[in-house]
Amino acid sequence: MFDIIAVGSATVDVFVNTEYNKLIRNKKTTLQAYPVGGKLLIEHLHFTSGGGGTNTAVAFKKLGLKTAFLGKLGNDLNADLVSHDLQEQGITNLSARGSNEDTGFSIILDSIGHDRTILTKKGANNTLKIQNIKLKKLKTKWMYFSTMMQDSYQTLKTIANFAKKNNIKIAMNISQYLAEKGIPYLKPILKNVAIFILNKEEALTLTKQKTVKNAYKKLHNLGIPILSITDGKNGASASDGKNIYTIKPHKVKVVET
């Protein structure tokens, strides 16, 4: 019996720092520019595994919970890297392996200031199917869902129904991609969720409300008991339907977003 199973994406992340500082600014955005046909020296290169599912699995494990990860890996060396990292962290790997697929992969360009641009390939993360999973082996007290897309999202709905029937509680965190899909798209999963976590932009997009207070009200009306909305440097809040609790971040020097 696990304390929690983190369900979501797994990637290999490559952090690239070129120290190239050419910027193009206009009224709408600031762009990082690289010369076409040029060759830039890399100042720092770092490989690590990441992803919405594996990152949270590590966090849960470090909190002392008996943790497993469930996702979809490809049939490549990157899948071996992710599996090795999970093993090193003491996390049980319940992932499926695709025979002709690539493991999720991201390149993080970190060239100026404290922000970054990410190039990402979802790969096998989008192809988790219910036949890849042995539901009866998912014996746990909690499940944590991160954003999944395409076939994997449909599988997530089935897992959510399985969890509900087996008294397994669900915590879920979404991305802007799923928020833009709207409540009707997410409702088959949200009706089974005990704790729902999202940031302010996602909350207002999903609920089509203008304030966090109204977003909380609309989400509680769906039957979700506990909600939490984060707001970057402004802190975070949580609601149990009766009270809204807020917390402010410590004033520290930002090293990396």
pLDDT in tens, 139-164: 999 999 999 999 999 999 999 999 99
What is the predicted pLDDT for the residue at 237? 97
Q: What is the mean pLDDT of the chain?
A: 91
Q: What phi, psi does 97 have (nearest 5°)?
A: -120, 130
Closest CA to 173 of 92, 17, 81, 55: 55
Q: Whole-model pTM? A: 0.88
Distances (CA, A) of 250 to 62, 143, 152, 199, 231: 22, 30, 37, 18, 14
Residue 65, class by beta-carbon neighbours within 10 Å (0-12 exposed, 13-18 middle, 19+ buried)?
Answer: middle
Token reading at 147: 């954003």
Task: At 197, give phi and psi (nearest 5°).
Answer: -120, 130
pLDDT digits (tens, 9 = 90+) for 116-125: 788 899 999 9
Give the integer Cα–Cα distance in Å for 231 and 248: 10
